[in-house]
Each structure stands twice: as C-alpha cells, then as structure tokens.
Amino acid sequence: MNYDFIKLTVGVLATIGLYSALYKETKLYRFFEHIFLGLAAGFTLVAVWTETLKPMWWDQMVGRTADGSEESVPGLWLFAILVPIGLLGYTVFSRKHNWMSRIPIGIILGLWAGQQVQVWWTRYGPQMSDSMVPIIPTTSQFRVPPTDGLPTEQIQAIASQLYVSQALSNIVLVFTVLSVLSYFFFSFELKSRLVKGVNLSGRWLLMIGFGAIFGSTVMGRFALVIDRMFFIWIEWFKEGILRIPG
Amino acid sequence: MTYLASFFTAPAASSGLTIRILGTLVFTAIAIFALSQAPTRSRRPIVATVTFFAGLFYVLFYLWPQPYDRKPNEIPLNSVEAVGFWLKDAQPVVSTFGNIIAGSMLGLGIFSLLSVHLRKFVKKQRDWQFSGILLLSMVAMAVIGYWNWIQKIAPGSPDLENVANWGFPQYANDFLFDGMLQQMDAAMFSIIAFYILSAAYRAFRIRSIEATILLSAALIMMLSLMGAVEYQTSELIRNISGNDPNGFINNFTLKEIATWMRTNLQNPSLRAVDFGVGIGALAMGLRLWLSLERGGVSA
Amino acid sequence: MNLLRLGKILQGVPRQALYTMLIVVASVPLFFRVEVPNSPDQPAIDLFVTLNTIPAERPVLVESDWTLSSRGESMGQMEALLRIMMRRNVKFVLYSGADPQAPQVARNVIRRINAERKRAGQPEYKKWVDWVDAGYYPDLAGLANAMATDIRRAFAGRQDTNERGSMQDIFRSPVLQNVKSISDVALLVNVHASGTIDILNERLYRRVPLASMCTGVMGPQSMPYYASGQLVGISVGLKGVYDLEQMMEYGVVGKSIRERPHPKTIVSSNHDEIVIQPFTGQKNYDRAARYYFSLHFAMTLMIVAIIAGNIGMILTRKPKRKGGQ
C-alpha cells in the first residue's frame, strides 16, 4: 500500500460519501461536506497571505535590500494604509460600526465603475461592427461558386461579391440581433403590431440561444460525472486495485 | 516609478521606512477611530466620497490626454502633461490597491464560518460534532499549508516541484489538497449533472412554441457535440451526393446546420443578450460611481 | 398495454433509476478505448494553429482560472496546452485570477506533464528557466489594466524560486527578461470555468492576442467574441479538448495544401498555406479521448430521457372536449 494508492482511496471514499446525497442526505454526506468546507477554508487562509498579501502588499511595502545580483528596491510606505482599509470590511459583523464595511466595498466598486466607461466600448464595439453585415446581394447567383483550383484573382473576385444565400444568412443575423434587443424594451408599451411581432420573434430567437447554452451545459456537467467515474473505476479500481495499466 | 514622487518611497530596511510605515499605521488607526465617531448623517457622504474618488481615477485615466511616445526620465512640459504622466505611473499602483483590499477581505467568509461553527462546537449545539470536524480540517489545512510554504521559500531549499525532494509537509499538503479537497470539489460539482438529467426528464416539455424552439435548439446542439453522430450524418450526405464536394446537399450535414445556426442564430442572439446586460452594467456603473443607487454602497 | 399506461410509465421513471443509468452509461464505455470519429470545429483549429505558429522565443501568459471542480474539461485543456507549448519549447508565465486554489492545481498539472516527459526521455520543463509562477490576483480587472499599461509593474514584487533555490524577481528569469511591455508577449491563453476571459477581453483586446479554453457552460457566451475577432481561437469543453488531441495526433494543413502528413490530417478553412505536422510518436490522445466515448452515451441518455418524457406527456394528455361537453 503506497502513498499514491492511499491518497486515491481516500479520494474515492470522499467522492462516494458526497454522492450518497443522491440517495438522501445522510450523516456520511454531512461528514464529508464538513471536511470539504473546513479544508477549503483552511486553504483560503493560507492562500490569502502566501499568494496575495505577502507578494503584493508586504513585499512592496518593506521593499528589498540588495542581495548579490539583485539590486535594492525601495519600500512603498503608503501601502501600510491598505490592509487596515481592507480589514474595515470585517466591521460588517459589528452592529454599531457595520457602515464602515462599505468603505472598502465602495473603493472596489468605485474602481470597477470608473473602468466601465472604457471597457464597455472595448468589449462591445467589435461586437457591434461584427453585427453590421451587408444584406443586399451584389449578384443574382444564389450559391457561392466553388473555389478549388481557381487562380487567386478569380478567388478574390468571388470573395468580393455577396451572393443571395450569403445575403439571406446576413439578414437572419441582423434580424436576430435587432429582434432579441427589442425584447428588452420594457420601459414603454408596445402598441404597433409590427413591433409586437418583432418582439415575439425576438423571444423565439432568444430560445435558440438558450437552447444552445443548455446543450453545451449538459456536455460540461456530464464531463464532470464521467471524470469522477474515470477516477473511481479506472484510476482507483483498474490501476490501483487490479494493477492493470489504464 | 519614474514620475511618482520619491516622497512615497524609502530605502528598504531603513529606519526612515520603518518610521513612515509605523506613522502611517498610527495615522490610519486615528482616522478609523475618528470615522467610527462620525455622526450618522455624515456616513453616507463619506462612503459616497470614497466611491467617487476611487472611480474618478479611472475616468480621468481614460479621458485625460495620455503621454505619447514618452521617453524614460522625461520631464512633463506643462501641468496637463504632468497630470497625464502621474496618471500613467499611478495606474499599476492603483490596480494593486484593488488586489490588496480584495485580498484582505477574502477572509470574510472564513470569519463567518469560524464564528458560526466555533459557537456550535463550544456550546455543544445540534450537530456540534460536525462543526468540530470542520474546525479540525480547517486548522490542519492551514498549519500544513503554511509549513509547506515556509519550506518552499526558505533560502537554499531544494526544488519542491520535484517529488524526490518531498518531506512530510509536502506529502501532507498534497494529501489534504489534491487527495481530498480537490476530489471533493469535483464530486460536489458533478452532482449537478444528476439533477440536470432528472430535471430535464421531468420538466422539459414542449408545451409552448418557445419550449419547442428551445428543445429543438438544445437537441441540435447536443447532437452536434457528438462527433460520431456528426461524422455519420456527414458520411450519409456524402454518399447521397456521390462524394461531390460541391454538391448542394452538403449544406445539410449536421455540422453545416449546426455551424449555420451558431453563426446566424445562436451568436447574434447571445450577443444581443450580452449587449443588453452590458448597457445595464454601464448604467449601473455610473449610478454606483455617483452614489445615485438607492440600495447601493452608500445607502 | 394501453397508451395511457405507457405514457405514465414513460413519465414515471424514478430519479434513482435515472441516476443509476447515468452512472452506468458514464462508466462502462471508459473500459473501452475507441477512437471516436470527429471533425474539429474551426474555432479549435484556429486555436491549435495559433499555438503552433507563435514565435517560440516570445513567452506566453497562461491564466489558469480553474480547479478540479471542472476537471473533466479544464484539466484536459491545460494538459493539451502544456504539451503543445513544451514540445515547441515555448516559455510561459503562469498566474491565476478566479480562485485561490487555482495556482496549486495548475502547478500539479505541470508536475504531472513533466513526469510524463521524463518517462518519455524528454527534457523536463524547469521552473525559472522555462516557466515562472506569478501567483494569484483576486482583482483580475486591476491586474489586466496594469498589464495593459506596464506589465513590469503589473507583476511588480512577484518572486519565484530560481535555479539556486532562492527567491528572485520573476523579470530576472529567462522567461521574462526580454519582456518590456504586453506586446512582447506572444499570446495570452485563459483556461477558465467562470468567464474571466470577458475581463481580459475588455482590457487587453488589441494589446495582446487572446485565446480562450473554457468549459461547455461558458462556451456559447464566449463564441460571439471569437466571431468578432476578439479571440484568436477558442476550445469549448470536452469536444474542444478532443479536437485539440485529434489535431495533435494528425496535424493540420491549410485548404490550398494538397499533400498531407496523414490521411486523417485536418484541413483548416481559415488558412491557406499552413502545414502543422502531427506530434508523431508522442502522447496525444489522453483524457478527452477516454471521456468522449462515454459522453456520447451520456448525452444519448439525456436525449432519450427528454423524448420519453415528452412522449409520455403527449400520451397522457386528455383529449380536448368538443362542444363544451
């Protein structure tokens, strides 16, 4: 019984213990649930200092003296103000002083809000330009001709045209964007039949997007179950107990 | 930090730095004490002011003229350029502020967890044994984690990426983190798949046009994610078209249909949703920055 | 059996039976090694081509924002990414922004891939020389802003263990010593399960090429950004990993190339003259190849369950009364 096998076995027991919740909530499930929460909390206690506060706050505040090939780095004494401000967040547990917890939250939200001015355009500008596609065909040909084996000039000539099939696809794209956007017009009443029709189409087209999300989510979640089964049946049972290489 | 005043720095391990740090801490303590005595009616303006100035930095950063083709140690020509220089130099430092403040607050959840379970354990309330297990796990992970870290950063320590150099702290850390925590994390999230299957079986019904469209789109997406199904339908279509790569019927393979749907229906639809959310976020950002939100930060 | 009874049976499968079926269909196929026929998606092909054509002398930023809660997909993506970069001798910087556990999880994967390389007689990727660990940043937006302005100050103060075993500034390492600004970085790849690519996209678009390796849940939301050119490539979920493994096995060529390294070499419709050789004789098919076969059965179960429930609903639907009776 080597370390790797013991580690695998404990992991399998913990997995099965948590899966017992599928039958019903048992003491076994609660046991492992509490171990999980405790370990996660303990790890966060370590990561807060080792991964974040020490390199970003302490090391920059105290600086570094010259050390062989490393030149000295001065300390930024103003950083001493930051952790006390962050610790104000813990006043949320105090009835009298809990308003002070809004100060660090206000700083973080203020920094976020100030960035929205620029980041909004960086994110959505290309999206908007990508949605503005030509919808009027430049030729009466329906299909895009095949380009296999054609010289470059002919391929370029074909690419410069907008064929009817492409125009139809583009119309569908533009209509989808506009109709789904129109679905979110909640601030005024929709009176016109045309607008109501577009709004209804938007709702239907929205369902396509949601259907795609559902399908993709199913793949994602099932991959997690398959991974757990692989861990139990192949890594632990087949390779660990039966000693058959996976 | 070429243009940030050296006023904010001091040589490492110098008495000047220590005095400045201690002085800052004392000043911060006095300021926090003064804040705690602030009258109720001034609390909202204090939080609103802090929020405003935090946001003002980035608003100015994006709207103020940026220095162009700036050389190292270049002196600004006028006050406008001086502000531009300062904003550009200060921006990475301000970014760090956010990280440090957010990092300081990471322990909030742990603090809450600790207070609830410690109370349960000490007062032997219902299920106190489980609280004891939680506290024991937390302490074990924290102790082993720090022990491992201290060994990792100690000068002259061996390369601990190499398992051959591992001692007890490394094995214990690996056992608790990789052997237990990560496996339980995976198990917890995988349970959702069972609930999705059960919920879809019981509730996913074509009772309306919207539900029918949603189900159809989901089915096409799921089928297109199955490579074997996609391949077989493509083979079928290829056989029908007589292996003609330019046959019109080739547009009706599952892959082509799924790609067309993704490009012309799915992406635009989700783009529009995202755009609507983005406009909302922009408006919310403005309202939060100016503390116009009723239930917002400064309420 | 009358239709009403059949409808009730179809709608009345107990949930424990469903759960058991899922466990069985997810487990049994794992015991069989089957190469599932597949046609990689163009977004994954673009990602693969990018990873194989970026200049090896410029480092890559790898933002690892996943933990074992998405191991089924994200670990395969991380392993594929590391294998490609290590085989091309591309140096990388590892950092995380979403979860404090993420850096340790990524380090564990690197250790495992190194052990695999050692068993195959290939040189291990050395910390400091070939890769550095830049740690965890709870405020990812702040970090991304700082990277856009001055990457050296974004990672200021970060140290890692050098070859002599002492901590040193990461910009002294061979990985980052020539990096003065974000444009010196070849690519930023985000392996994520929580949409952190949006934060990077908002702040680093046009400053550095961005690529995303995300879970199935985040895939549809990220696709519009690939469509608009804000992402150079994207690998979505388990299928995306399988696409990458398949391309590693058989290579990729542009649509103008007639001669292919292998009959199953993938043709990219977005590229003309490119030729990316397969990684012959190396481990390419791994996690995704094992899981993808099972996924077919699991998703078939989902489809059958939904269809059965709907057929049951239709069969048990009371006929509409005529004439108000």
Query: Given B178, B205, B232, which is nearest C310 (Cβ)?
Result: B205
Poorest-pLDDT segment among A220-229, B89-98, B196-205: B89-98
What is the structure's pLDDT at C2?
86
C141 touches A: beta carbon within 8 Å:
yes
DSSP codes, A160-177 = TS--HHHHHHHHHHHHHH
Quickly count: other Cβ atoms within 10 Å of residue C140's Cβ: 23
Chain A residues with beta carbon closer than 8 angstroms to that of C228? 126-127, 129-130
User: Nearest CA of chain A to the CA of B154: how many Å?
Assistant: 13
Q: Which chains touch A (3 or more CB pairs under 8 A)?
A: B, C
Burial of B100 (0-12, 13-18, 19+ CB in 10 A): buried
What is the structure's pLDDT at B1?
42
Nearest to B81 by CA among B95, B93, B68, B62: B68
The encoded tokens of residue B222 equal: 């799921």
Cβ neighbours of residue B148 closer than 8 Å, sequence gap 6 or more: B160, B169, B170, B172, B173
What is the structure's pLDDT at A105?
92
Task: Give the residue extent of every domain in chain C.
Answer: 1-35+285-318, 39-250
Highest mean pLDDT among A21-25, A179-183, C17-21: C17-21
Residue C320 has pLDDT above 50, yes or no: yes
Q: Is A223's CB within 8 Å of C23's CB?
A: no
Q: Is C228's CB within 8 Å of A119's CB?
A: no
DSSP codes, C57-100 = TS-EEEEEE--GGGIIIIIHHHHHHHHHHHHTT--EEEEESS-T
Yes or no: say if C210 and C188 are a contact pair by the CB < 8 Å rule: yes
- The residue that leads in pLDDT, C269 or B3, is C269
C19 touches A: beta carbon within 8 Å:
yes
Side chain identity at residue C281, one-letter code: G
- Chain segment C74-127, per-residue pLDDT in tens: 999 999 999 999 999 999 999 999 888 899 899 999 999 999 999 999 999 999
Yes or no: say if A217 and C216 are a contact pair by the CB < 8 Å rule: yes
Side chain identity at residue C47, one-letter code: L
Nearest to A68 by CA among C162, B137, B2, C188: C162
Yes or no: say if C208 and C182 are a contact pair by the CB < 8 Å rule: yes
Chain B residues with beta carbon closer than 8 angstroms to that of A212? 217-218, 221, 261-262, 266, 270
User: Choosing among A72, A121, A225, which should be mutated to test the C contact, i.e. which has the most C CBs within 10 A?
Assistant: A225
Residue A143 has pLDDT above 60, yes or no: yes
What is the structure's pLDDT at A153?
87
C16 touches A: beta carbon within 8 Å:
yes
B138 forms bridges with which residues in the sheet? Answer: none
Task: Give the residue extent of every domain in chain B.
Answer: 6-107, 137-200, 206-289
User: Choosing among C9, C69, C236, which should be mutated to test the B contact, i.e. which has the most B CBs within 10 A?
Assistant: C69
What is the structure's pLDDT at C50?
97
SS3 assignment, position B39 = coil
Distance CA A29, CA A19 (A): 7
Query: Given C157, C169, C239, which is nearest A70 (Cβ)?
Result: C169
User: Taking a contact as any Cβ pair under 8 Å apart, which residues of chain B between 39 and 78 contact chain A?
Assistant: 43, 46-48, 50-59, 61-63
First to last CA, chain C: 28
Chain B residues with beta carbon closer than 8 angstroms to that of C149? 88, 91-92
User: Nearest CA of chain B to the CA of C58: how many Å?
Assistant: 23
Chain B residues with beta carbon closer than 8 angstroms to that of A180? 268-269, 272-273
Q: Is A130's CB within 8 Å of C229's CB?
A: yes
The fold for domain C39-250 equals: Rossmann fold (3.40.50)
> What is the torsion angle, in degrees rounded to the nearest 10, for the CA atoms of residue C309, residue C315, residue C321 and residue C325?
-110
What is the structure's pLDDT at C162?
84
- Chain segment C20-71, per-residue pLDDT in tens: 999 999 999 999 999 999 999 999 999 999 999 999 999 999 999 999 999 9
Side chain identity at residue C315, one-letter code: L
- Chain segment B33-70, per-residue pLDDT in tens: 999 998 989 999 999 999 999 999 999 998 999 877 77
Kindly provide the ipTM of the predicted complex, given to two decimals: 0.91
What is the structure's pLDDT at C115?
93
Nearest to B58 by CA among A152, C202, C118: C202
How confident is residue A94, by pLDDT bands cut at 50, 70 and 90? Answer: confident
Cβ neighbours of residue A130 closer than 8 Å, sequence gap 6 or more: C224, C227, C228, C229
Whole-angstrom CA distances from A133 to A33, A164, A202, A206, B247 are 52, 13, 19, 20, 26
Task: Give the residue extent of every domain in chain A.
Answer: 1-63, 79-132, 139-246
What is the structure's pLDDT at C325?
45
Residue C318 has pLDDT above 90, yes or no: no
Kindly state the DSSP code that residue C318 receives in the 8-state scheme.
Answer: P
What is the structure's pLDDT at C324?
47
The encoded tokens of residue A241 equal: 């107990």
Quickly count: other Cβ atoms within 10 Å of residue C15's Cβ: 15
What is the structure's pLDDT at B50?
93
User: Choosing among A210, A216, A219, A235, which should be mutated to test the B contact, i.e. which has the most B CBs within 10 A?
Assistant: A210
How do C167-169 and C159-161 pair as beta strands? antiparallel
Within C137-286, where are the H helices?
Answer: 140-149, 151-154, 197-204, 219-227, 237-250
- Chain segment B121-136, per-residue pLDDT in tens: 999 998 899 999 999 9
Phi, psi of B292 (to 5 degrees): -90, -10
Distance CA C167, CA B154 (A): 8
Residue of chain A whose Cα is closest to the Cα of C160: A55
Query: Given C39, C301, C313, which is nearest B231 (Cβ)?
Result: C39
Number of Cβ pairs closer than 8 Å across A and C?
A: 158
How confident is residue B2, by pLDDT bands cut at 50, 70 and 90? Answer: very low
Yes or no: say if A111 and B96 are a contact pair by the CB < 8 Å rule: no
Residue A149 has pLDDT above 50, yes or no: yes
Q: Sort residue B179 into left (φ over 0), alpha (ψ -120 to 50) or beta.
A: alpha
Distance CA C50, CA C209 (A): 9
Contacts 24+ apart (CB under 8 A), B44-49: B44/B291, B44/B298, B44/B299, B45/B298, B46/A103, B47/A99, B47/A102, B47/A103, B47/A106, B47/B291, B47/B297, B47/B298, B48/A106, B48/B291, B48/B298
- Around C320, how many Cα atoms within 13 Å sit in the side-chain half-sphere? 2
What is the structure's pLDDT at C144?
93
| pLDDT mean over B221-248 | 88
Nearest to B62 by CA among B94, B92, B84: B84
Quickly count: other Cβ atoms within 10 Å of residue B104's Cβ: 24
The sign of the torsion formed by the CA atoms of C41, C45, C46, C47 equals positive
Chain C residues with beta carbon closer than 8 angstroms to that of A60? 156-157
| pLDDT mean over B187-206 | 94
Highest mean pLDDT among B146-160, C103-117, C145-159: C103-117
B249 touches A: beta carbon within 8 Å:
no
What is the structure's pLDDT at C322?
54
B4 touches C: beta carbon within 8 Å:
no
How confident is residue B249, by pLDDT bands cut at 50, 70 and 90? Answer: confident
Work out the mean pLDDT of chain B and round it to a whole number. Answer: 89
Q: Is B94's CB within 8 Å of A117's CB?
A: no
SS3 assignment, position B101 = helix
User: Taking a contact as any Cβ pair under 8 Å apart, which residues of chain C between 173 and 232 contact chain B?
Assistant: 216, 220-221, 223-224, 227
Residue of chain C whose Cα is closest to the Cα of B164: C115
> What is the torsion angle, in degrees rounded to the nearest 10, for the CA atoms of residue C176, residue C180, residue C184 and residue C189?
60
How confident is residue B247, by pLDDT bands cut at 50, 70 and 90? Answer: confident
SS3 assignment, position C190 = strand
Q: Which chains touch B (3 or more CB pairs under 8 A)?
A: A, C
Chain A residues with beta carbon closer than 8 angstroms to that of C145? 115
Whole-angstrom CA distances from A34 to A38, A41, A106, B191, C139 are 6, 10, 33, 17, 28
The encoded tokens of residue A148 equal: 């296999």
User: Choosing among B71, B87, B99, which should be mutated to test the C contact, i.e. which has the most C CBs within 10 A?
Assistant: B99
Nearest to B99 by CA among A90, C96, C178, C159: C96
Residue of chain C whose Cα is closest to the Cα of A132: C228
- The residue that leads in pLDDT, A22 or A118, is A22
| % residues pLDDT > 70 (chain A) | 98
The encoded tokens of residue C238 equal: 């388990």
C105 touches B: beta carbon within 8 Å:
yes
Chain C residues with beta carbon closer than 8 angstroms to that of A238? 31
Nearest to B93 by CA among C56, C154, C35: C154
| Block residue for tokens 């089964």 | A229
- Chain segment C222-252, per-residue pLDDT in tens: 999 999 999 999 999 999 999 999 999 999 9
